[in-house]
Amino acid sequence: MTDNQGNGSGTHASSTGQLMSGAAWLDVHFEACRPEYEASLRSVGIQPGWRVLDAGCGSGSYLPLLAELVEPTGALIALDLAEDNVATVLDRASSWHRLCPIEARVGNVTALPLPDNYFDAVWCANTSQYLTDDELTATLAEFRRVVRPGGLVAIKEFDGTMVRFLPAPPNIFPHGFEAAAHGGMAQAKGTLRTPALGAWLRRAGLTNIRLRTTLVERSAPLAPTERQLWGDYFTFWSSVLPRHDIPAADRQLWERLSVPAEQERILRDPDFICCEGYGVAVGSAPERG
């Protein structure tokens, strides 16, 4: 798996060095988008009694709902590349009220340390963005391998084409992500791949493909977690995107957004509107003929 090394503050990296993969960042992002995120997970079709893999579990935000969906006779395995994220999950799981077992372990989604046909479903959220095309191909082959015939594979991913805020040029984020992708930032390229995830599942041999896109839209006045999320966005991307070939007007705005006072002014603007989007692609492992 490719490491996007973070330099300096505001990268929100985990122990792997991958940007925006640390527990604190993931917690804020989940809380700011919780209603939409939980509705998407509920729509996948996970059933009571199932054994489910949370692949790339991060800080474990989805695990309580996954446990609710599979209880009382199901089981969960949470896997993440970052040792610190796995430690966070193990610490939190000890205090969760649950009826099903939850196991957490360190592992790489491109080479799962798990047996064939072991799971009824795989849930993988905001992880494919870190993978190159070759790594995503390997990962989907692994997901198909560990899921039983008829089982589900569900990939949720941030969509870099759907991020915007007002007041700002409408394409300031897509312009930036496209420039960063062309500049070699694998994570930016991964966020632009999201609309095609259904096709990726089909090429991996999965069937009954469905893809649903969700828009997470917020407007002033922002809740504290929403303000923190977008402030973190401004700090992070204003340090990254101006290094790439973006329009002059975009560059000027990002330079302004690197200043905390300017961030706060925009976030508290009564006309402030922000949105981000994501896709959830779901496929089934073929039944044996």
Q: How high is the pLDDT of residue 111?
A: 98
Beta-sheet pairing, 51-55 with 75-80 = parallel
> Can you name the residues that pair with 158 across neighbouring β-strands?
278
- Whole-number Å distance between alpha carbons of 55 and 110: 10
Give the H/E segment covering residue 6: none
Q: How high is the pLDDT of residue 53?
A: 98
289 band by pLDDT with thresholds 50, 70 and 90 = low
Q: What one-character DSSP code corresponds to residue 259?
A: S
**In the block, residue with structure tokens 């798996």:** 1
What separation in angstroms does the CA of 50 have from each of 72, 79, 100, 118? 10, 17, 10, 10
Neighbours of 223 (CB within 10 A): 11
| pTM for the whole structure | 0.93
CATH class of segment(s) 23-160+186-216+278-284: alpha beta
pLDDT at 38 over 90: yes
Q: What one-character DSSP code corresponds to residue 241?
A: G
Span 78-94, pLDDT tens digits: 999 999 999 999 999 98
Mean pLDDT value across residues 209-214:
98
- The structure tokens listed for 112 are 């799962």
Who has greater pLDDT, 283 or 23?
283
Span 246-264, pLDDT tens digits: 999 999 999 999 999 999 9
Q: Specify the 3-state DSSP secondary structure of 114.
A: coil
Where are any strands of DSSP class E within the chain?
51-55, 75-80, 102-106, 119-125, 147-166, 207-219, 273-284
